Chains A and B, each alone.
Chain A
Amino acid sequence: GAVVSQHPSWVICKSGTSVKIECRSLDFQATTMFWYRQFPKQSLMLMATSNEGSKATYEQGVEKDKFLINHASLTLSTLTVTSAHPEDSSFYICSARDFRQRLSYEQYFGPGTRLTVT
Chain B
Amino acid sequence: GDSVTQMEGPVTLSEEAFLTINCTYTATGYPSLFWYVQYPGEGLQLLLKATKADDKGSNKGFEATYRKETTSFHLEKGSVQVSDSAVYFCALSDRGLQGAQKLVFGQGTRLTINP
Contacts and interface: CB of A to CB of B under 8 A. Distances in A.
Q: Is the interface of A mostly helix, strand, loop or mixed?
A: strand
A84 B32 CA distance: 36
Nearest to B34: A105
Interface residues of B, number: 25
A49 B96 contact: yes
Interface residues of A, number: 23
Interface stretch (B54-62, B71-79, B99-107): B99-107
Interface of B: 4, 32, 34, 36, 41-46, 49, 89, 93, 96-98, 100-108
Interface of A: 4, 32, 34, 41-46, 49, 51, 57, 93, 95, 104-112
14 contacts: A34-B103, A42-B107, A43-B105, A43-B107, A44-B89, A49-B96, A49-B100, A51-B98, A57-B97, A95-B44, A106-B46, A108-B43, A111-B43, A112-B43
